[in-house]
Amino acid sequence: MVHTIGNENNTYNPFVIAKNKDIEIKYIDFGIENYGQLIRIEDSNIILLSQLIKGMKKSFFIVAHELGHYVLKHKNQVSDARVRDEFEANFFATELCFEFYREQHNKKATQPRQLLEYGMPMEMAMII
């Protein structure tokens, strides 16, 4: 799925992919509890990002994670399915950031620390 999206958009940059899919990105004051959220309003999709991460590399992983919810057609739900949805979105974001690293550096990431530059949590970077 990640390769298809990358090929369709000629990039693995999550910000560019969001723009190409007409997903608006807005920065808001979430406080310290949350860094991002995908919201759907009628036919519009918006990724809300915390102002605390504006301009930070962490924002790449957060946008990729929220794109994962969009692409995987997750619903906002409070249930056991939410745990699964969060795992799937994290895995999608990990794959997307891995490919974005390859795109930017013309080589595969071979060490988890290399993926940290996109804000990937260490536990997800360890998957490589």
pLDDT tens by residue, 50-69: 999 999 988 999 999 999 99
**Residue 42 banded pLDDT, cuts 50, 70, 90:** confident
**Residue 126 banded pLDDT, cuts 50, 70, 90:** confident
pLDDT at position 78, please?
Answer: 60
The answer to whether residue 93 scores a pLDDT higher than 90 is yes
> pTM to 2 decimals?
0.92
| Single-letter residue type at 119 | G
Share of residues in the chain with pLDDT > 70 (%): 96
Q: Which residues of 36-73 are buried (b: 16+ CB within 10 A; e: fewer)?
A: bbbeeeeeebbbbbbeebeeeebbbbbbbbbbbbbbee
User: What's the token pair of residue 64?
Assistant: 């990729």
Residues facing residue 23 across a β-bridge: 45
The answer to whether residue 75 scores a pLDDT higher than 90 is no
